[in-house]
Structure 1
Amino acid sequence: MTEAKSHIMELRHLRYFIAVAEQLHFSKAAEQLHIAQPPLSQQIRQLEQEIGVPLFHRTRRSVTLTTAGEAFLEEARKTIAQAERAIQVAHQAHQGEIGHLEIGFVSSATAEAIPELMQRFHRQIPRVAIGLHGMFTVEVVQALHTKTIQAGLLHPPIADEELTLQTICDEPLLVALPEHHRLARQSQVIITQLKDEGFLTYPRAWNPGTYDQAIAYCQQAGFTMRVAQETNSMQTTLGLVAAELGVALVPSSCRLLRTTGVVYRPLEGKPPTMTLALAWHPLHITPPLRQFIAITLDYAQEKQALSQV
């Protein structure tokens, strides 16, 4: 049994061979390759010696491919094409144009930020696969450290100095009411009018900043917020509001969710704002993440400009 010989050849040998095979003339091929004819002829002979079969029939008047040469030409073209493809893919990966990106997000972001950012990202970077994961703020923080996700949309403040945060927007809080609620006909609601209401909110452990903000707002108005029920998503919260199981303080973008049976009313005076921010770990930046950060920053600047109009 003959042991298979290991062959090592360079891509330039294949390119030289293809040029000669296409021109069927060493001088023309050398001119095309911008090299002298003798070194080209020598490289082709070395290639034939390396693979152990003749690739060309040579006479004084003509050069033609052998049967082995014709078969080798087809595979050589494939190899060169694949090598060029590999180079292209490497550049695309370096630029963040291909790959994947895992994003965690708080449920309030589904009203506006996530749809807008996903549309922009897909339009600009269509070949990066996106994985979306609904989470609470504390889960986003944990997932960024474990590299389960590379980017997170969350509600600050967070007690974590290792992560980088970029504010996307600051949204004033509104009150979400059942459509037949006694206050639903008012153009705006005074926070003290809600002192006897049951509030729907997330558990404090999942979004401590948001929870404490709502508690403090009510306390400043002279009453303690009574939690009627804790929920696990903005959609669930609004569904329970529609079922008349309580009211909720929500960021203004939630109006875009248009939940049947729910009305939104602004709060009189200067209600607190809820911040939505993009978070990432500066030591875990990938090219697709870099692209996503840039797109998010552009979106945030547009949001800020519109808020100042």
Structure 2
Amino acid sequence: MKRGRTKLLARISLGKRVPMTALIQTLAVAEYLSFQGAARALGVSQSSVSMRVRDLEQELGILLFERSTHGVQPTEAGRHFVAEVDSALETLEAAILCAGSRARGEKADLRVGIYSLVPGGFLDRLFKRFKEEAPLVHFEISEGTAREALFMLREGKLDIAFMACNQEIPDLNSRTIWSDEILVGLPLGHPLTVQKKITWKDLAQQTFLTRRGGTGPQIHDLIIARSMGRWPIPEILKLKIGYGTLLSLIEAGCGISLFLKEASLLRARDVVFKPIHDETERITFSVVWSPNNHNPALSRLLKLAMDMDSDKTDP
């Protein structure tokens, strides 16, 4: 039995039922092998400890301790009883401490939906800082489209989702957290890579590659919006591929695509990232969560995300 546990358990508010008090005082006697020592450790009178242990012995119908002028010693039955009670209270102690950690958001499961995760990007920095502050929180990350994330939030399969654009959703909470510049990714050797200023008109005759997941749908809509009423909409191929495959296709000369500035941190050997001169808007990103979700870890992550936004920690 760990010394000092009886003091801790004595401070736990479990009501005024005699059986629990008697168990704690019995553990203290077994720990200190003295009614006087147990009483001193628990801050109660010696007579109180003696009375409660005696009442417990009468209730159980067994002798827990052999008394003598030199102190007390557990009987054989007493040793087994104390060991079992000590084990049970150790489990109770762990449950209480675990419940407290979860209530404070220190230990929990957090299911997060993302559009993508770029090393060094906003979400990467956010998650690393959060893990430093709450190392016991377990992340379950799902990558997908905004539509998929909204369904999962409503079904309770996600606690929080990060997605592109401002999100005004009647049944969900949302807040714009950060924004990023839009760049065009071109294969090395493409004629536009040596052009000083690239405009949307310069891109009108190009073949665009977009992903079906991540920010792909937003990129697709942006290309159409910038072309409408000005020139024919460029060819846009929607592909069910990952970020790495998209870069490989651009390197191979299969087309071009649009990227966030943070994505350019992942340097591709044969892809050149260039700003679009007449694109003045930045893609905004929002965090979305259910107002019915009371996961304390969610509140901690939201606060940190908003603090990072106010810090203006752009890559």
TM-score w.r.t. the length of structure 1 is 0.86
Does residue 1:15 correspond to 2:15, yes or no? Answer: no
Tell me the SS of whatever aligns to 2:158.
Answer: coil
Q: How many residues align?
A: 297
Q: Evaluate the alpha carbon distance shift between residue 46 and residue 271 of structure 1 in structure 2; reply closer, same or farther with a 3 A threshold.
A: same
Q: CA RMSD in A?
A: 2.6
TM-aligned CA deviation for residue 257 of structure 1: 2.0
Does residue 1:230 correspond to 2:238, yes or no? Answer: yes
Does residue 1:180 correspond to 2:199, yes or no? Answer: no
Does residue 1:299 correspond to 2:312, yes or no? Answer: no
Structure 1 letter corresponding to 2:235 = V
Q: What is aligned with 1:143?
A: 152
Q: Evaluate the alpha carbon distance shift between residue 306 and residue 256 of structure 1 in structure 2; reply closer, same or farther with a 3 A threshold.
A: closer
Structure 2 letter corresponding to 1:107 = S
Whole-angstrom CA distance in 2 between matches of 1:188 and 1:109: 27
| 8 Å CA contact 1:109, 1:153 repeated in 2 | no
Structure 1 letter corresponding to 2:136 = R
Alignment of 1:146-161 (within 5 A): 146-158=155-167, 160-161=169-170
Alignment of 1:238-277 (within 5 A): 238-277=247-286
| 8 Å CA contact 1:155, 1:275 repeated in 2 | yes
Q: Deviations over 1:207-239 (max 9, x none)?
A: 65543333222337x223313411234444333
Does residue 1:103 correspond to 2:148, yes or no? Answer: no
Q: Evaluate the alpha carbon distance shift between residue 194 and residue 28 of structure 1 in structure 2; reply closer, same or farther with a 3 A threshold.
A: closer
Whole-angstrom CA distance in 2 between matches of 1:261 and 1:88: 54
Q: Evaluate the alpha carbon distance shift between residue 77 and residue 53 of structure 1 in structure 2; reply closer, same or farther with a 3 A threshold.
A: same
Alignment of 1:72-83 (within 5 A): 72-83=81-92
Q: Evaluate the alpha carbon distance shift between residue 112 and residue 305 of structure 1 in structure 2; reply closer, same or farther with a 3 A threshold.
A: closer
Unaligned runs of 5+ in 1: 1-7
TM-aligned CA deviation for residue 84 of structure 1: 2.0
Whole-angstrom CA distance in 1 between matches of 2:115 and 2:92: 43
Tell me the SS of whatever aligns to 2:259.
Answer: strand
Q: Deviations over 1:259-309 (max 9, x none)?
A: 23211001114432111221111112311111211222222222x3659xx
Unaligned runs of 5+ in 2: 1-16
Whole-angstrom CA distance in 1 between matches of 2:212 and 2:292: 31
Q: Evaluate the alpha carbon distance shift between residue 158 and residue 211 of structure 1 in structure 2; reply closer, same or farther with a 3 A threshold.
A: farther
Structure 1 letter corresponding to 2:295 = T
Q: Evaluate the alpha carbon distance shift between residue 130 and residue 85 of structure 1 in structure 2; reply closer, same or farther with a 3 A threshold.
A: same
| 8 Å CA contact 2:166, 2:286 repeated in 1 | no
Q: Evaluate the alpha carbon distance shift between residue 111 and residue 238 of structure 1 in structure 2; reply closer, same or farther with a 3 A threshold.
A: farther
| 8 Å CA contact 2:166, 2:176 repeated in 1 | no
Q: Deviations over 1:151-178 (max 9, x none)?
A: 1111124462222222222112111111
Q: Evaluate the alpha carbon distance shift between residue 17 and residue 225 of structure 1 in structure 2; reply closer, same or farther with a 3 A threshold.
A: same
| 8 Å CA contact 2:199, 2:277 repeated in 1 | yes
Whole-angstrom CA distance in 2 between matches of 1:148 and 1:224: 41
Q: What is aligned with 2:206?
A: 197
| 8 Å CA contact 2:197, 2:277 repeated in 1 | yes
| 8 Å CA contact 2:113, 2:161 repeated in 1 | yes
TM-aligned CA deviation for residue 58 of structure 1: 2.1
Whole-angstrom CA distance in 2 between matches of 1:243 and 1:47: 82
Whole-angstrom CA distance in 1 between matches of 2:309 and 2:170: 22
Whole-angstrom CA distance in 2 between matches of 1:148 and 1:87: 27
Whole-angstrom CA distance in 1 between matches of 2:168 and 2:32: 69
TM-score w.r.t. the length of structure 2 is 0.84
Structure 2 letter corresponding to 1:48 = E
Q: Deviations over 1:189-221 (max 9, x none)?
A: 1221112111122459x865543333222337x
Whole-angstrom CA distance in 2 between matches of 1:95 and 1:300: 23
| 8 Å CA contact 1:155, 1:210 repeated in 2 | no
| 8 Å CA contact 2:185, 2:258 repeated in 1 | yes
